[in-house]
Amino acid sequence: MKTAAVSRTTDGVVQAIQGTIIDISFSGQLPPVHTILRTGNNASVYIEVLLHLEPHLLRGIALTPTRGLSRGMKVSNTDSPLLAPVGKNILSRMFNIFGQAIDGLGPINDVSWRSIHQPAPSLLRRSAKSEIFETGIKVIDVLAPLERGGKAGLFGGAGVGKTVLLTEMIHNMRGKHHGVSIFCGIGERCREGEELYRDMRDAGVLPNTVLVFGQMDEPPGCRFRVGNAALTMAEYFRDDERRDVLLLIDNIFRFIQAGSEVSGLLGQIPSRLGYQPTLSTELYRFQERIASTDAGAITSLQAVYVPADDFTDPAVVHTFSHLSASIVLSRKKASEGLFPAIDPLESYSKMLSADIVGKRHYLLAQEIRKTLAEYEELKDIIAMLGIEEISKENQRTVRRARKLERFLTQPFVTTEQFSGIPGKLVSTQEALDGCEKILQDAFDDLPESAFYMVGSIGEVEAKRKEQADGKRSDAP
């Protein structure tokens, strides 16, 4: 960890230890809140100052295990807050909360160090324009467009394609926006972090990515601060390099959970359902740093865990208040082979407004949702009686919906090595043109399979031409 030179004149003494909470006395002036202190054998225990209890007594939380710590031990003041490395050389590397490289490739060189506690951009610096962050993924850009400089929630369990979607967005970020991606793992399992690193390396997206992890087995203080470290790195690329940044957070609920643990250890009286009384303030300070400014934008995609599927849980309610879009991954869609397995009826975006995306996009999106919703209602009847028993108009709706479902699938660049299908990056206009033609029944002569795992509608039209040429060549 990088800190300022240790001051010999402001040493303190450990007075009490309660798990990872440590009370320390100083004979002189107390170090400011957020200052890092060091103690233990070889100064291996890092403590962040959280509270000033008395004129000469403070309370801090350990960011490392406190094994071997005892009362009476000397405490050194670093005169510095927790610092994160910033610079071009951090790309393609993986770090812990202290800015130490944990990818086995040696220490990081030629970087600067900045405090992880930075203020949110002022209102004067923020961009007042509502802009769309185009991902190149059809179902997102058409039905749940992301906001440039906004926050989107990603809801999905294990095995529904969450990691694949994240790696594809990282790839598209580099190719389409020439930006960088920061992956922040809050409370990640060691196995998950290692697998993600390997998947990104194999997919070729690692050179433009930085990974920061506060792992599940680390103290709550460490998990509580790792998001701030990732944000500091993202702010460097936005403000200094003037590049757009995609910040991927997995999982924002664990940030709130770590804050709750810290609050409980500090002895604060909990609020509703046992959460910390400072929940909204902590989340606000974190989320408000994610913004679009005159220099660039930090666009965030955050995985959200919903405890017991209760959307009225305080952690979920406060998180939703910051999100501009919600992407829901469906296990049912994944089981049907419809990838990306995004549920178009459950996903939504505040950006899907005629004033922002345009009247044509808005009306088409509403028509697509209506068609897919009507098909969802007809599924039970079709399963019991068969499609022949419903009206001709409903049969047309079903055909359109099934073709739309398949057209909204898409081969990814990051899955080429597994599927053998070249990945496709599709513009929003190309996706809208395809959906519009399907809704107008322009491809009634083609089977549903012609729309599966294609890019633009031009590929479907090419299949139709091939089919027509084949019929002419077979004619006597």
Element at 375 (helix H, strand E):
helix 359-385
Would you call 110 helix, strand, or coil by DSSP? coil
The count of other CB atoms within 10 Å of the CB of residue 20 is 22
Are 268 and 101 a contacting pair, CB within 8 Å?
no
Among the listed residues 461, 440, 442, the one whose alpha carbon sits nearest the alpha carbon of residue 450: 461
Element at 188 (helix H, strand E):
strand 180-188
Q: Give the span between the Cα atoms of 419 and 205, in whole angstroms.
A: 18
Residues paired with residue 60 on neighbouring β-strands, in sequence order: 22, 49
Tell me which of 74, 125, 189, 242 is the catalytic residue. 189
The 8-class DSSP code of residue 451 comes to: G
Q: Give the pairing of strands 7-18 and 74-81.
A: antiparallel
59 flagged as catalytic: no
162 flagged as catalytic: yes
- The full length of the chain comes to 476
Among the listed residues 52, 56, 51, 58, the one whose alpha carbon sits nearest the alpha carbon of residue 16: 58
Tell me which of 93, 151, 162, 406 is the catalytic residue. 162
Q: How far is CA 1 from the centre of its chain?
A: 26
Joined together, the tokens standing for residue 203 give 């997919």
Are 140 and 301 a contacting pair, CB within 8 Å?
no
Residues contacting 195, CB < 8 A, separation 6+: 163
201 flagged as catalytic: no
User: SS3 breakdown of the chain: % helix, strand, coil, rounded to 5?
Assistant: 40, 20, 35
Q: Which residues are designated catalytic?
A: 162, 188-189
